[in-house]
Amino acid sequence: MKQVFFGARLFDGKHFIDDAALVTDGATILGIVPVAERPRGIVQHDLGGGILSPGLIDAQINGGGGVLLNETPSVKGISAILEAHRRYGTTHALPTLITDTADILAETLAAGKMAADFVPGYLGLHIEGPFIDPQRAGAHPPQHIRTMSMADADLLIKGKSSVLLLTLSPNCVPPELIRHLTAAGILVSLGHSEASDQQAFTALDAGASAVTHLYNAMSPLNHRAAGLVGAALADPRVIAGLIADGHHVSPTAIRVALAAKGPDGIALVSDAMPPAAGGPESFELQGRTATRMGTKLTLPDGTLAGSAITLLDAVRYLVFELGLAPDLALRMATHTPAKMLRIDNKYGRLAPGHSSSAVHLTPDLRVKGIWIDGLSFA
């Protein structure tokens, strides 16, 4: 069904476009035209102000709406997490499994294959661990962290459906395994690691292309030992995920990252846990209670345990707390994550031939309407 959307300021994934109308046909964008030249005789949506943006894309959602993927590694769990975050403008995402048993990993991969056929907004999976550095476990249960074998790599390759993003530690996984994974289409992200900058560069040369939640759970930048943070900031091949919630990364550190990489090198992620997107105040994380304090989640020992934000909360934090221009913050939640996940030929832009997935935002960046592939979810 052909539709035209007008009356809002269009953000195309990179820039604002004024006095423009978006023309779609089902799941596909046909074009952007001046409002006065929009086609008549098709469904008209006068948005009455605000911003029409590509749907937000989150590459790291552990849970939301009271559901944790580790506890519900099923199509039902995947669907519930995506539905919870959809209400807050995230039209597409990677449900994320943190370090767990081999059985839970296998169940999650199987569920991902099934979800790919019919769950709206499902892009694939983010497997965060268990092949990480015990020195930088963060909230990941140390008893399940382990060394990757060729059999593990082959299991991941066999279980891949759609996008599969894998977070691993470059000082714990040899470059030949990284090459094996990336040659099969798995996207490798470096994180939870005490790696040196040289170890990180070796992994990037082997095909890794991203860094998971920059600054958090990784070797810091030192002037004589640049660490994984230094490698991520210095290497233009890297798109780094970043949690902008006011707790995981300081305002100055965010500004440093943006000065080094710009909005095309930083993809906002929520790292959301079950309390996000309307969930409870606390939850059980593999036998440990994590509790919300504002938008922060902590374990009893004070360790940060993911966030309680949505991706739109991260956009709002950058705009209203750090003073970043809305187009730059929105780019980091739309086009940049699409580029990181190598789906920017279809998602993250309002452009001809791209998906008609979009979100209508108020001037203060609240959700007014949501469409996924032309279908309304408002």
Asked whether residue 142 falls in the same domain as residue 23, the answer is no
Asked whether residue 20 falls in the same domain as residue 129, the answer is no
Asked whether residue 329 falls in the same domain as residue 358, the answer is no
Asked whether residue 97 falls in the same domain as residue 181, the answer is yes
Q: Does residue 186 fall inside a structural domain?
A: yes
Asked whether residue 95 falls in the same domain as residue 218, the answer is yes
Q: Does residue 98 fall inside a structural domain?
A: yes
Q: What is the mean pLDDT of each run of 10 residues along the chain (378 residues)?
A: 96 98 97 97 96 98 97 98 98 98 97 94 98 96 96 96 96 98 98 98 98 98 98 98 97 98 98 95 89 88 92 98 98 98 98 98 98 90
Q: Does residue 306 fall inside a structural domain?
A: yes
Asked whether residue 217 falls in the same domain as residue 275, the answer is yes
Asked whether residue 154 falls in the same domain as residue 281, the answer is yes
* pLDDT computed for residue 117 by the predictor: 86
CA dist 80 → 86, 102, 107 (Å): 10, 23, 16
Beta bridge partners, 75, equal: none
25: domain CATH number? 2.30.40.10
Q: CB 158: neighbour CB atoms within 10 A?
A: 10
Q: Does residue 109 fall inside a structural domain?
A: yes
Asked whether residue 63 falls in the same domain as residue 202, the answer is yes
b/e map 75-102, b = 16+ CB within 10 Å: bebbbbbbbbbbbbbbbbbbbbbbbbee
Q: Does residue 130 fall inside a structural domain?
A: yes
* pLDDT computed for residue 295 by the predictor: 80
**Residue 355: domain span:** 2-53+350-376
Contact 368, 89 (CB under 8 A): no
78: domain CATH number? 3.20.20.140
Domain count for the chain: 2
Asked whether residue 37 falls in the same domain as residue 164, the answer is no
* pLDDT computed for residue 296 by the predictor: 85
* pLDDT computed for residue 294 by the predictor: 80
* pLDDT computed for residue 170 by the predictor: 98
b/e map 262-287, b = 16+ CB within 10 Å: ebbbbbbbbbbbbbbbebeeebebbe
Asked whether residue 355 falls in the same domain as residue 368, the answer is yes
Q: Does residue 345 fall inside a structural domain?
A: no
Report d(CA 64, CA 278) in Å as an integer.
7
* pLDDT computed for residue 356 by the predictor: 97
**Exposure of 168 by Cβ count < 10 A (0-12 exposed, 13-18 middle, 19+ buried)?**
buried
Asked whether residue 364 falls in the same domain as residue 282, the answer is no
Question: Catalytic site residue 152?
Answer: no
* pLDDT computed for residue 37 by the predictor: 97
Report pTM. 0.98
* pLDDT computed for residue 137 by the predictor: 95
* pLDDT computed for residue 285 by the predictor: 86
- Structure tokens that stand for 149 in this block: 């074998």
* pLDDT computed for residue 286 by the predictor: 84
Asked whether residue 187 falls in the same domain as residue 130, the answer is yes
| Candidate list 12, 271, 327, 344, residue with the active-site label | 271
State whether the Cα torsion 194-221-62-308 is positive or negative.
Answer: positive
CA dist 368 → 21, 310, 311 (Å): 17, 16, 16
